[in-house]
Amino acid sequence: MNTVTTTMSVPFVDIGGQHAAIKEELLEAMGRVIDSGMYVLGQEVDEFERQFAELCGTRFAVGVNSGTDALVLALRALGIGTGDEVITAANSFVASAGCAAMLGATPVLADVGDDYNLDPASLEKAITPKTKAVIPVHLTGRPAKMDEIMAIAKAHNIYVVEDAAQAVCAEYRGKRVGSFGIAGCFSLHPLKTLAAIGDGGVLTTDDENLYNEIKILRNIGLKTRDDAISWSGN
């Protein structure tokens, strides 16, 4: 019997190929943007935000440059800064802790459980009078134990900002991630579950005041075209 050996190369990632099935649809959408000249914000972004909020079961969604920006802007809009502590999972990507450090706050790392997500018992032990927020991470799309985490946060009067970078459409007990805390932060990096051609991020919330503040902070602090009410980036 003759044995035939076949070698096949399987790439670790195929960023170019992942959009192949909808390439024409994407080119059409890009064409609309090019023809309109609205390269920053505009109707296309408005519609994306509306659909993303509907997808996550929240009142609002705000598009930003990256998942990291979503985390930073969420904490900033909540008034978190120097002297404050923010708890997150010890095994997450650096941005989950870095967003707090960038604002002058102190990131505090708590342990994870068998699901590799933030362990509620470890979270509770890490809370101090300086703790202002917790960032549970839905690692690899598997939701953290949000019922326990929300109960602990409520008991200690701290904010919950979900790091849902890898978890678009993930559900915990019938509810989409990004709809539990005061804010949900998603990444649209090419390696994430909902990938942009480039980078991007989204922040979800049910809090109208937070929503309005984030919209100002994402656009150079502009309340109107001629009225800047805070220093910010874009």
Instruction: State the catalytic residues.
Output: 192
CB 176 within 8 A of CB 149: no
Contacts of 113 (CB under 8 A, 6+ apart): 119, 120, 122, 145
Alpha helices in 40-190 (DSSP H): 43-56, 67-77, 95-101, 120-126, 146-156
Task: Report CA 125 to chain centroid distance, whole Å.
Answer: 25
In angstroms, what CA-CA distances link 36 with 39, 48, 173, 225? 8, 16, 42, 20
Smallest Cα–Cα separation from 72: which of 101, 105, 99? 99
Q: Write out the H or E segment, with its range, that includes residue 27.
A: helix 23-36
Residue type, 137: V
Task: Report CA 198 to chain centroid distance, whole Å.
Answer: 16
